[in-house]
Amino acid sequence: MSDDIGTNGLFDAAGPGVRVGRASRATGETKVEVRWGLDGTGRADLATGVPFLDHMLEQIARHGRFDLAVTASGDLEIDAHHTVEDVGIAMGRAFKEAIGDGAGIVRYASAHAPLDEALVLAVADVSGRPYLHYAVPVTRQRLGAYDTDLTEEFFRAFAVNAGITLHLMLIHGRNGHHIIEAAFKALALVLDRATQRDPRVAGVPSTKGTLA
């Protein structure tokens, strides 16, 4: 990965044992770079070219206590689909690299996140087994320039490339912005909980001796 991603010093103090993943993706449609520090404080440096996506990624960093840097450029003159999906792909790969073999992590977690009338449940297994169950319906098709259908594309790209099992379910809600933001906050909370180190866990948390 190139070193020109604007991290504003996010990772300057990363020392031994601090889990940081990096990923880059370049196609004829997009260029994406990600750095993800699992053991962070909630700082973010985000420039995807999709303001609503930046706002959602900030929720992941802040509420997951992750340090997250993401830059992207893409064919936004067509629409945001390629950019949103490829950001999800790169973030998943960075997360997977940061996890490594998963030794000592909690692995399983669940979390509810509310935002006013909206409530979303996230359940995750950092297992090496990619799967997404997405049941977060939003009736409104656009929020400003953002196509709400792209939210599922982001979560699927992330889950598959992170190698995690992820279930996202809307419990109730009406406002499209609130529902989507609650989903991102739920993801932040569940990833923070699942990636915590548990001193009772010796090695990889699997009877197989390896994740996946």
| Residue-level pLDDT at 210 | 72
Closest C-alpha among 117, 108, 109 to residue 170: 117
Closest C-alpha among 158, 168, 14 to residue 95: 158
Amino acid at position 179, single letter: I
* pLDDT above 90: percentage of residues in the chain: 83
Average pLDDT over residues 128-154: 96
- 87 and 53 Cβ atoms separated by less than 8 Å: yes
Find the range with the poorest average confidence among 73-87, 91-105, 177-191, 192-206: 192-206
Q: Tell me which of 26 and 103 has the higher pLDDT.
A: 26
- 92 and 144 Cβ atoms separated by less than 8 Å: no
Instruction: Please name the residue that has the structure tokens 């400003």.
Output: 144
Backbone region of residue 128 per phi and psi (left: phi > 0; alpha: psi in -120 to 50; beta: other values) = left
CA atoms in the 13 A half-sphere facing the CB of 95: 28
Average pLDDT over residues 79-103: 96
Strand arrangement of the beta sheet that strand 67-74 belongs to: 20-26, 30-37, 67-74, 44-47
Q: What is the pLDDT of residues 53-80, one digit of tens each?
A: 999 999 999 999 999 999 999 999 999 9
Q: What is the pLDDT of residues 24-38, one digit of tens each?
A: 999 999 999 999 999
Contacts of 8 (CB under 8 A, 6+ apart): 43, 45, 69
| Residue-level pLDDT at 100 | 93
pTM for the model stands at 0.91
Average pLDDT over residues 83-99: 98
CA atoms in the 13 A half-sphere facing the CB of 162: 29
User: 45: which 2 tokens?
Assistant: 């440096």
